[in-house]
Structure formats: C-alpha cells, structure tokens
Amino acid sequence: MSVEVKGLGKDEQPRADVEAEPATGPEPDVAAEPEAPPPPCAAVMEAAEMVELTRKHTMFSWVAQNVAEPIAIETAKGVWFCSADGKRYLDFNSQAMSVNIGHGDQRVVDAIAAQAQKLAYAYPHAAHEPRARLGAKLAQLTPGDLDVMFFTTGGADANENAIKLARQYTGRPKILVRYRSYHGATGQAMVATGDPRRWSNEMGGTAFVRVPDAHRYGRRDPEPVERALEDLEEVIMFEGPHTIAGFLLEPVVGANGILIPPDGYMQGVREICDRYGILLIADEVMSGFGRTGKWFAVEHWGVVPDMLTMAKGMTSSYVPLGAVAIRRSIADAFHDEPFFGGLTYHSHPVGCAAALAVIEVMEQDGLVERSARMGRLMRQHHERLMETHPSVGTHRNIGLFGVLELVLDRDSFAPLAPYNGTSAEMQAMQEYMRERGLFALTRWNTIHTNPPLIISEDELAQAFDIIDDALYLADEAYRG
C-alpha cells in the first residue's frame, strides 16, 4: 500500500530539536533530479558458489557462523545493488550506514584508479599530495580549530587513537563513556562501547567509566537536559575530575537507536568538560559527512569538540580510511615529544585520494543540503507510518539518519523485541523486506532508515511502501 506525503515546500522548516537547517545559497532541486538506473545484474561466479566459498574460508562478524545469511552481492550503482542470482535491492542502510554518496560514482572510482597508478602506497612518515590536500581540506570542513588530522584505517582505530591522545595529553587515565554507544571492535574502542557487543571483550584495568545515558533504554523520550547534566557531573565528582582524561560520545547515537540529544545537552557537556579540564571527543564515524544534514552532527548545537573521529562516509566506504581531527592547542603539545601511536596504512595515498574525491562530489552535488531537505520528507513518511501502525511507538530522524522504534504497547512502551534480542515479528519483517528487495537494518525492536544521501523522492517512497506493508506483521503482536 502506498504512503502519501507532501512535497517539500519552500516555507517548510525543520523542527529545531531534530532537524538540520538548510544551508544558505541555492538548494538542489530534489524532485527534478533524475534517478540513476538500477545496475545490471550479471554474475561471473554463481551465487551458490560465492556463498559456499565465503562460508568455507572466511568468517562473518557479530554472528554465529551457522546462522549467517549473506547476500551474494555482485554489482551496485546509485542506491541499488544486485545479488549474483539477479535480484535487485534498494540499499536503505547505505550498507553499513556508510555509502553516503551512493554506489559506483565514477568520479570517485576514477580518482582511486588514478592514484593507484601514480602512487599506490607510501610509508607513514612520507609526505604526498593526497595526504597534504586532505589534511588541509578537513581542517576547512571541521568546526572551530580542529586543524590537525591523524589518519587511520577506519572508525575503530580512530577512536582507539583518540583515547590514547587524550590520555597522553592530559596524563590522566580515565575515559567517560555511555551504555547506549558503539565505538568500534578494536581493544580499547570495544571496551569503551556500551552495547552488548562489549560483553565478550571486557578487559581489566582499562579505566573506562560509564555515565548515565541522556536517553535511557526503553523510554520514549530523553531525560530532561538538567537531569542528564547533573548525572554526568555527579559521576565526575565520584571519580575525581583530576583522574578523567576525556568523555567519548556519539553526538547522535547510531546503531543503538539514532538517539538525538535535546537542545542544550551537548552545550552543557562542553561547558562541564571545560570546567574540569576533560577533553570532549566526538565520535562522528556514523554521523559525519552529511548524514545528519550538516557536515558533522556537532554543528547542530554549535559545539567544537577537542577531538572528532571520522570514517565511513569520509570515503563513502569505497576504500578504508579514518581520521582523528585534533584541536591545534592539543596537537601542539606533541611538537617536541612523540605521540605513541601509528599504523602501517596511516595516511594511505589511495584512501586520501578517495576521500578528496568524495568530498568534491558532496560539494558539487549539494549532498549535505540534500540530506537536510530529504530528512524533512523522511519525517513525513515516519509520521504517516506512526498514524497507520499502532506498533510504531516512536520515530526519530535528523537528516537521513532515522529509526522506527516498535512496541507491543504504546502506553507501557514495551519493546517488540527484548534488549539484545529479537522476536518472531522482527524476524518476519526482516525476511519480508528482503524478499521485497529492501535492504534495511533491523536491530532489536528497531528498523533503521539510513539510505544514501542521493536517494530520490520516488525511491524513498518505494522503500517506505515496503516498510508500511511489513509493519502489519508487527501490528499483529500489538496488545495495547
């Protein structure tokens, strides 16, 4: 069944607490932009053989190997990808919330190929043009005086190195973190993570301290700002501010529910960190590079962190790359002493060239502004689904970073699936959407809505049509 939504009127304004404000200057014509044709589906290797060899000789992450259900992906273009057996999927999660510019943009593919021909690799202490240009470009894009970049291979080791930088700079051991969070699968980043993926990776003596979440699990709304900030300051008092190096947080929490802080929270965290000499580290691995309708999510609240980590959308995941953006005053502390961190693929030339090409595509095509505009349209789809389906307990989005939270009862807000678990209804919806050709992330009791920033109005409506139909399976379990 069809979801009808209003067009994007010029006088429509985003809600201040969740929506990105359009940038000044001309806005892209969302409705008029032609759609990229779906990719052809022609496989060299049969799907069954691809899956068989993958299962036999490789391991999947975050899942028992016998229950993994991989799609044998062959080609991808725009917001579409094709399996090796010829089935097309609309990519409504940007793969891993990361292919922000869409698949197969020839401008980026050509830049990667050209750099690989010219200089495929250089040792970490070398200077080369892509490294020089990307560092300068990111210094322009990041807020405030985040002028110095430490390049990594992805988001996990960006957070890993930000933690090391904070401890070495301050001489303090502890890092504040939250439960509803994910910061990566490497050693310290995994322990800094709050969600259950941490449980099997705990290690002693790592000095991570958890503060109460500003948006508690199982509740429709976040805590009042004053209460959340009081909770933070109480933990700092109990732990001793002189022992705390930094506070690592996702400005907008990603995999744990697209949790958007109320106005005043990020500003209050910044003030408290300043008062106690604690470094504020913003994990923008998911929320960066236009996902929220700004280049970086912290810009919605006018906050400049002391460090900002990035990856995923930085190269649109065409090749691996991450970075820590560092305030000039912190970076200057390492002028006469070394930072004890490094990677073989630090400042990789091909990765840096890919990032430069992605940024140029985003600027040329107005994708940050487009994310803000299309985010307003996404909100209308969310609202209509909540009006139609009692199982939709609430919805959230900021730009094209969105989620539907499903419940058994709106009054009690009992989740449709348990914490760190699933249910027959969630599994049935996932199977239904995949059968209909929609690739979307379902996690616990949520459906994530995080398409590439290039998605058209028609493609967005097509995705929500499928979700609309799938939600009738959830409604069957509703008992409110």
Give the tokens for residue 15.
């809600």
pTM of the model: 0.91
pLDDT of 41 reads 73
The verdict on 56 and 187 lying in the same domain is no
- Whether residues 98 and 210 share a domain: the answer is no
Residues 141 and 258 in one domain: yes
Q: Is residue 240 part of a domain?
A: yes
Q: Are residues 159 and 304 in the same domain?
A: yes
Contacts of residue 442, defined as CB under 8 A and 6 or more positions apart, other chains included, come to: 422, 426, 429, 430, 433, 448
One domain for residues 67 and 214? no
Q: Domain check: are 378 and 243 in the same one?
A: no
- Kindly state whether residues 289 and 142 are assigned to the same domain: yes
For CA atoms 387, 393, 394, 400, give the dihedral sign.
negative
Residue 4 resides in a domain: no
Provide the pairing of β-strand 208-211 with 174-178.
Answer: parallel
Q: Which domain holds residue 172?
A: 107-365
Q: What is the CATH number of the domain that holds 201?
A: 3.40.640.10
Where a domain ends, among 317, 343, 365? 365
Q: Distance (Å, rounded) from C-alpha 446 to C-alpha 320?
A: 28
The amino acid present at 76, given as its one-letter code, is: A
98 & 127 share domain: no
402, pLDDT greater than 50: yes
**DSSP per residue over 60-93, as a string?**
-SSS-GGG-----EEEEEBTEEEETTS-EEEETT
- For residue 435, being part of any structural domain is answered with yes
Angle, helix 424-435 to helix 457-475, in steps of 10 degrees:
150
Residues 299-319: pLDDT tens digits? 999 999 999 999 999 999 999
Nearest to 176 by CA among 198, 207, 203: 207
pLDDT digits (tens, 9 = 90+) for 257-292: 999 999 999 999 999 999 999 999 999 999 999 999
Residue 375 has pLDDT above 50, yes or no: yes
> What are the pLDDT digits (tens) for 25-62?
334 444 445 455 666 676 679 999 999 999 999 999 99
Q: Give yes or no: residues 342 and 399 share one domain.
A: no
For the segment 205-242, what is each residue's pLDDT rounded down to a tens digit? 679 999 999 999 999 999 999 999 999 999 999 999 99
Token digits of residue 174 = 């502890």
Does the residue 432 lie in any domain?
A: yes
Q: Classify residue 172: in a domain, yes or no.
A: yes
Residue 293: exposed, middle, or buried by beta-carbon count in 10 A (0-12, 13-18, 19+)?
Answer: buried
Is 128 a residue whose pLDDT tops 50?
A: yes
H-helix segments, 180-278: 187-192, 225-239, 265-276
Q: Inform me whether the pLDDT recorded for 425 exceeds 50.
A: yes
Examine the fold and report which residue of 365, 388, 423 is the final residue of a domain before the chain moves on: 365
Of 436, 438, 416, 419, nearest to 427 by C-alpha is: 416
In terms of domains, do 200 and 328 share one? yes
For 54, 67, 84, 436, 449, the CA distances from 70, given in Å and listed in that order, are: 9, 9, 12, 16, 20
> Does 5 reside within a domain?
no
Checking if the pLDDT of 437 tops 70, the result is: yes
> Which of the residue ranges 141-145, 244-248, 476-480 would you say has the lowest mean pLDDT?
476-480
Q: How far is it, in rounded angstroms, from Cα 81 to Cα 173?
A: 45
Could you tell me the CATH number of the domain that includes residue 97?
Answer: 3.90.1150.10
* Domain identity same for 282 and 207: yes
Q: 330, 365, 400 — which closes off a domain?
A: 365
Domain check: are 377 and 445 in the same one? yes
pLDDT of 1 > 80? The answer is: no
23 pLDDT tier (thresholds 50, 70, 90): very low
Q: What's the count of helices (H) and strands (E) in the chain, helices before strands?
A: 13, 16
| 17 located within any domain | no
The verdict on residue 34 lying in a domain is: no
Closest CA to 139 of 148, 130, 131: 148
**Residue for token digits 């022992």?**
243
pLDDT score for 204: 75
pLDDT of residue 324: 98
Q: How high is the pLDDT of residue 19?
A: 44
How many domains is the chain built from? 2
